[in-house]
Amino acid sequence: MKNIINKLLYRETLKKYFEPELLFWIVALLYLSLINVEAHTHFSFCPLHNLGIEWCPGCGLGRSISYLLHGNILQSFEAHWLGPIAFLIILFRIYQLIRNLVLRNKIIYQ
């Protein structure tokens, strides 16, 4: 019984200090800032691309954000015109998650 209570307390403590979505977005932007977009040897999660279909409405968003992070704004718009907008939305989401995490912990410690 004590072991179960400790596991539950650990989960609650982990929830207070850790936000998986925040880690996901930070790692995703870090990955996009480090990849070489010009190389066509990267793996794609796109099911349409993996089936051999050339056009997909979402394909190019990652390349667009990567171009933007490398400072190539024109190429970013050419890869996908929603890329810079998606980048701003992701940055805003990261800000929200950090703010919520800080406020949640501030309330706990007061």
Question: Is 91 domain-assigned?
Answer: yes
On the question of pLDDT at 10 being above 90, the answer is no
CA 88 to CA 84: how far, in whole Å?
6
Question: Is 99 domain-assigned?
Answer: yes
On the question of pLDDT at 11 being above 80, the answer is no
Which range marks the domain in which residue 64 is found? 19-109
Which long-range contacts (C-beta less than 8 Å, at least 24 apart) are formed by 64-70? 65/29, 65/32, 65/90, 66/32, 66/33, 66/35, 66/37, 67/37, 69/29, 69/32, 69/33, 70/33, 70/37
pLDDT at 2: 59
Question: Is 9 domain-assigned?
Answer: no
Question: Is 1 domain-assigned?
Answer: no
Question: Is 30 domain-assigned?
Answer: yes
**94 contact partners, CB below 8 Å, separation of at least 6:** 22, 25, 26, 29
Question: Is 55 domain-assigned?
Answer: yes
Q: How many domains does the chain have?
A: 1
**pLDDT tens column, 21-37:** 999 999 999 999 998 88
pTM to 2 decimal places: 0.75
Mean pLDDT of the chain: 82
**pLDDT tens column, 78-93:** 989 999 999 999 999 9
Least confident of 1-15, 52-66, 88-102: 1-15
Phi and psi angles of residue 52, each rounded to the nearest 5 degrees, phi first? 95, 5
Question: Is 49 domain-assigned?
Answer: yes
Question: Is 4 domain-assigned?
Answer: no
Greatest alpha-carbon span in the chain: 60
